[in-house]
Amino acid sequence: MGCLFRELIRSRTDRAQISSLAEQVSDLTNVSSTLKRYLEEVVAGVLGNKQEAKEIIDEEDAKLATSRVLADLAKLSAISDLKQFDVSTEVARDAFAEATSLDDLARRVETATKGQVRAENVISYWKVSRDKAENMNAVREVLNLIPLTFEDELHVKRGSRKPSKRAAKSNQ
């Protein structure tokens, strides 16, 4: 009975702490918003141009958003694996963002690692270990991009297989 009571007390304490944290985050969000408006007015007063002040603050917002994305990416195993090959988070982000397929991503990884990681080996590994390929799409998700598939699967999904020779002749 004492064990259940302790568990109930601990559960309530945990909920109270989570609720308190949520309130603090909400308060910080409000303070941040207020400070942003205040700063915009101050900068506008100093510059004498409210539009220019807004542009400066928008630039800083973009920098903050980029920093948040890079911090989120750095937590992912796919990115930390690349860091072992001296690939920066920014270079890794660009490779994932620009890739058009998992095969293309593997080639970009080979380039980023200066050949230390061979694309054909990565593709073979990902095809056998589909969960590892899905880890690559976790990065794409943080970047708000659509998931990647293998090139041979892309053609099947889109129905864009090369036409047979017979079909090609009949179209002429």
- What mean pLDDT comes out for the span 117-134? 92
Q: How confident is the model at residue 167 (pLDDT cuts 50, 70, 90)?
A: very low
**Digit-coded pLDDT (tens) for 5-53:** 788 788 888 888 888 888 888 888 888 888 888 887 887 788 787 788 7
Average pLDDT across the chain, whole number:
84
SS (H, E, C) the chain: CHHHHHHHHHHHHHHHHHHHHHHHHHHHHHHHHHHHHHHHHHHHHHHCCHHHHHHHHHHHHHHHHHHHHHHHHHCCHHHHHHHCCCCCHHHHHHHHHHCCCHHHHHHHHHHHCCCCCCHHHHHHHHHHCHHHHHHHHHHHHHCCCCCCCCHHHHHHHHCCCCCCHHHHHHCC
**Digit-coded pLDDT (tens) for 73-97:** 999 999 999 999 999 999 999 999 9
pLDDT attached to residue 154: 65
